[in-house]
């Protein structure tokens, strides 16, 4: 048993002395098992963990990951890559309009203790390294202690509600994401056409006056005019 563990809850942030990525890395290097429940995974974040996942396989450590389709953020490339690890089982929570999925929990199991981190960080590059994130780290040497059992039970309950990831699902999800991207692009075009910048009568007059002053190179008057009209010069939609 490690006698030097800090059992006081602590805050894990992406500050200059430490990052959430470094905390996750250190934990993956020595844990026996891990359990992640994380709403969003994108490939830029997953890439940072790939070598660590490979080293887990080399020493026969295992992991379970729950992620989701919530807000269509998790990408197919990440899911496909996770499927290549024999020691990691990944499942997907299918979110709908009535219930989202927004967990960010990381559980690491060691010989004689659990490390549990719950907070705001998803598996994205910015969340792991640069975003302003708050995550609480909790360590318990008592594997039968209340909080550890509660969160592991919650993970297992979620695991039972999630779907296996297979090629059929990946193809359907990929097709859906492509349709979403296409729809968003079309909507943006409509938005750009609908919201043209238009000035009101007062603004038109102010702009004409400013243009006249510029053409006449009346710097002092121009500055005075700007000061008088600053509060009236704005964009209307």
Residues 83 and 136 in one domain: yes
The residue from 165, 190, 210 where one domain ends is 165
Residues 143 and 59 in one domain: yes
pLDDT in the model for residue 181: 87
pLDDT one-digit tens code per residue, 46-97: 999 999 999 998 889 999 999 999 999 999 999 999 999 999 999 999 998 8
Predicted TM-score of the model (pTM): 0.77
DSSP helix/strand/coil, 11: strand
Residues 58 and 116 in one domain: yes
Residues 115 and 214 in one domain: no
Question: Is 171 contained in some domain?
Answer: no
- What does R_g of the chain's alpha carbons equal in angstroms? 26
Give CA 167 to chain center in angstroms: 25
Residues 150 and 221 in one domain: no
Give CA separation, 235 vs 88, 104, 140, 175, 231, in Å: 53, 40, 57, 39, 11
Question: Is 98 contained in some domain?
Answer: yes
Residues 40 and 122 in one domain: yes
Say how far apart CA 81 and CA 43 lie, in whole Å.
Answer: 9
| DSSP run (H or E) holding 115 | strand 114-119
The 10 Å Cβ neighbour count of residue 28 is 19
The residue from 115, 142, 165 where one domain ends is 165
Tell whether the model's pLDDT for residue 201 goes beyond 70. Answer: no
Question: Is 5 contained in some domain?
Answer: no
pLDDT band at 232 (very low <50, low <70, confident <90, very high): very low
Question: Is 170 contained in some domain?
Answer: no
% of the chain exceeding 90 in pLDDT: 62
What is the strand order of the sheet 33-38 is part of? 10-12, 135-140, 114-119, 104-109, 33-38, 62-68, 88-93, 163-164
Residues 90 and 43 in one domain: yes
Where in the sequence is the domain holding 60, given as residue range(s)? 10-165
Question: Is 236 contained in some domain?
Answer: no
Question: Is 51 contained in some domain?
Answer: yes
Say how far apart CA 205 and CA 142 lie, in whole Å.
Answer: 75
Structure letter (DSSP) for residue 70 = G
pLDDT in the model for residue 1: 44
Residues 141 and 25 in one domain: yes
pLDDT in the model for residue 17: 82
Question: Is 237 contained in some domain?
Answer: no
Residues 72 and 145 in one domain: yes
Residues 133 and 211 in one domain: no
Residues 23 and 80 in one domain: yes
Query: What sections of 4-88 are H helices per DSSP?
Result: 20-30, 43-47, 50-58, 76-82
Residues 45 and 138 sit within 8 Å (Cβ to Cβ): no
Give CA 1 to chain center in angstroms: 34
- CATH code for the domain of 155: 3.30.870.10
Give CA separation, 171 vs 38, 42, 88, 122, in Å: 22, 17, 21, 24
Report which of residues 157 and 4 the model is more confident about: 157
The residue from 143, 165, 187 where one domain ends is 165
pLDDT in the model for residue 225: 41
Q: Give the β-pairing of 114-119 and 10-12.
A: unpaired
pLDDT band at 142 (very low <50, low <70, confident <90, very high): confident
Question: Is 174 contained in some domain?
Answer: no
Mean pLDDT (whole number) for 125-140: 96
Question: Domains in the chain: how many in total?
Answer: 2
Residues 61 and 31 sit within 8 Å (Cβ to Cβ): yes
Residues 30 and 120 in one domain: yes
């Amino acid at each position: 048993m490690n006698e030097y563990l800090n059992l006081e809850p602590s805050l894990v942030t992406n500050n200059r002395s430490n990052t959430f990525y470094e905390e996750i890395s250190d934990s993956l290097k020595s844990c026996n098992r891990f359990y992640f429940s994380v709403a969003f995974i994108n490939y830029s974040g997953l890439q940072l963990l790939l070598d660590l996942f490979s080293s887990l396989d080399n020493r026969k450590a295992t992991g379970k990951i729950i992620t989701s389709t919530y807000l269509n953020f998790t990408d197919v490339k990440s899911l496909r890559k996770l499927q290549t690890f024999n020691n990691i089982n990944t499942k997907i929570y299918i979110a709908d309009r009535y219930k989202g999925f927004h967990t960010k929990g990381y559980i690491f199991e060691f010989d004689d203790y659990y490390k549990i981190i719950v907070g705001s960080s998803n598996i994205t590059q910015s969340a792991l390294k640069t975003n302003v994130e708050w995550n609480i780290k909790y360590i318990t040497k008592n594997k039968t202690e209340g909080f550890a059992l509660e969160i592991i039970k919650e993970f297992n309950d979620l695991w039972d509600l999630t779907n296996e990831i297979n090629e059929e699902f990946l193809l359907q999800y990929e097709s859906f994401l492509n349709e979403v991207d296409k729809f968003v692009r079309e909507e943006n075009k409509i938005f750009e056409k609908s919201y043209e910048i238009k000035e009101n009568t007062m603004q038109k007059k102010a702009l004409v006056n400013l243009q006249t002053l510029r053409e006449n190179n009346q710097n002092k008057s121009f500055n005075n005019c700007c000061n008088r009209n600053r509060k009236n010069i704005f964009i209307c939609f």
